[in-house]
Amino acid sequence: MTTLKTILTPNIDIETIRADFPILSRKVNGKSLVYFDNGATAQKPKLVIDSITNYYTNQNSNIHRGVHTLSQESSVAYENARATVQKHLNAKHAHEIIFTKGTTDSINLVATSFGKKYITKGDEILISSMEHHSNILPWQQVCEEKGAVLKVIPINDAGELIISEYKRLLNERTKIVAITHISNTLGTINPIEEVIALAHVKNIPVLIDGAQAVPHTAVDVQLLSADFYVFSGHKLFGPTGVGVLYGKEKWLNEMPPYQVGGGTIKTVTFKKTEYADLPLKFEAGTPHIDGVIGLAVAIDYVNKIGFKNIEAYEHELLIYATEALQKIEGLKIIGTAKNKASVISFVVEGLHPFDIGTILDQLAIAVRTGHHCTQPLMNLYNIPGTVRASFAFYNTKEEIDMLTSGLQRAIKMLK
Amino acid sequence: MNIEKIESEIIEEFEMFDDWMQKYEYLIEVGKSLTLIDPQFKTEKNTIKGCQSLVWLHSELKDGFVIYTADSDAIITKGMVALMIRVLSNHTPDEIISSKLDFVEKIGLTKHLSPTRSNGLVSMIKQMKLDAIAYKAKV
């Protein structure tokens, strides 16, 4: 993604792609839907929707238990999905892929389990000012329990990490660094290769929150040498309620189970339990089987389009929208990093984001308004919230034109 | 005028509008004309926090009638707040407690009361009624 400006012209057949997403043809308030809330959740291609129907119509059965045909088929489909995720992230082993409920669940798992094993009084956990609440609260909780300290890497006005400050904050008390790959509010693409490399010099592991990154870019966890990489299925065009925790085998083997129960064990007596090997040790209870299968279908779908094409096309949308929005009087873009994903947050002088969002909704334009679960970041910019338009590869320049004209209309009404 | 009468008055006003734009323009106007809450009452205690916009609500009892004043940082919310005040302010606690407030649905603005909107309006109505209950206990 860092070489965006030099890459190819995207090979995107927008009509065919849009036809793959049934919801894009629905009407809202009598008008064609313009969906710019992809940062909150992405829409699902028909293939994903069909895979869920197919699962319940033809395969439904609990996994890893039965000897009967349905159970075996479900188990194979579930484990094939794990292999799909492994390949997608280029993880070394399939058992380094843990299925969770989503990004929040993945971070809670690591914070709790890693925290239990490695964090003690006086230790430090390092995050950044642009983190989503989901990558703040679990760490805050660990700090409270263990008497550890939460340290925060500052950002500059453009919304970029200040690397010199980061270097200064890394020390022998730092036990883990947890940082977002792409900011959900600002769109900043963080230099995570550098972040990880700098931490590794001091043998500090790094967790990357990839929730906003996986829909926009390909990730190679071995190349990055990320210790943990987490994301949600629903932002990657898959079902809700399913997510991924990638963890290096070494860490996952050493960390204690997070939740325990069915599926996580080798043997149980009332005196002692011997836990199962990875990945089952971290997958207590019946998992979200159809969600996992649907996620694999979504991953195959985006890979067919290809992330090189997606990145190039979305970059065109970002540039087009940035230029169009900057022409609107009183509009200020929040987050102007050199390296940005197709996410634009903005405020309009004298207007509340909620009012703008309400009028845009009447025009069938779905944007997100508010603090985007990044209240500390909003405090930093001294604003109550922003309006955020986040684009996916199925969005078009025509839709961006509708946003700008809708905004002009809203401003006229509200001023 | 009793609460129901004011509600039907508002419903009639909204019936004159042909489209959503007129409706929202009216709401924005109403919001702008809302008598501002005395700044001394814009306290943390009087703040109703929605996920999206803030509402400040103050009430007092005068000669047996509850008087509400309020404000919001978002103008559309403020318009809705102004309508609520027009309906509920200056009535007895009993009247306020038993009001159904179904005018919101009839003027087609129910979505502003859905919990997902989280604009503080639902909490505001709840608070208005709670205040009335508290005054009733005092009377």
3-state per-residue secondary structure call for A157-214: CCCCECHHHHHHHCCCCEEEEEEECECCCCCEECCHHHHHHHHHHCCCCEEEECCCCC
Say yes or no: domain A49-303 is CATH 3.60.20.10: no
Q: What is the DSSP string of B63-90?
A: TTEEEEEEEESSHHHHHHHHHHHHHHTT
Kind of pairing, strands A273-275 and A149-153? Answer: unpaired
C-alpha triplet B76, B77, B81: angle, nearest 5°: 120
Judging contacts by C-beta atoms under 8 Å, the chain A residues touching residue B116 are none
Judging contacts by C-beta atoms under 8 Å, the chain A residues touching residue B52 are 353-354, 357, 369-370, 385
Is residue A56 a contact partner of residue A290, using CB atoms and an 8 Å limit? Answer: yes
Q: Domain A4-32+306-414 adopts which CATH fold?
A: Aspartate Aminotransferase, domain 1 (3.90.1150)
Query: How close A261 gets to chain B, by Cα (Å)?
Result: 34
d(CA A159, CA A334): 8
Length of chain A: 415
Is residue A154 a contact partner of residue A181, using CB atoms and an 8 Å limit? Answer: no
A168-189 per-position pLDDT tens digit: 999 999 999 999 999 999 999 9
A205-227 per-position pLDDT tens digit: 999 999 999 999 999 999 999 99
d(CA A231, CA A99): 10
Length of chain B: 139
Q: B109 pLDDT band (50/70/90 cuts)?
A: confident
Residue A296's Cβ-side half-sphere holds a number of Cα atoms within 13 Å equal to: 22
Q: Can you read off the two tokens belonging to residue B50?
A: 């929605």
Q: Domain B3-138 adopts which CATH fold?
A: Sufe protein. Chain: A (3.90.1010)
Catalytic residue among A221, A373, A377, A403: A373
Is residue A85 a contact partner of residue A244, using CB atoms and an 8 Å limit? Answer: yes
d(CA B71, CA B51): 16
d(CA A191, CA A123): 25
Domain range summary for chain A, segments of one domain joined by +: 4-32+306-414, 49-303
Location of structure tokens 């642009």: A130
Indicate whether B89 pLDDT > 60.
yes
Domain range summary for chain B, segments of one domain joined by +: 3-138
Judging contacts by C-beta atoms under 8 Å, the chain A residues touching residue B54 are 384
Q: B105 pLDDT band (50/70/90 cuts)?
A: confident
Contact B52 A353 (CB under 8 A): yes
Q: A264 pLDDT band (50/70/90 cuts)?
A: confident
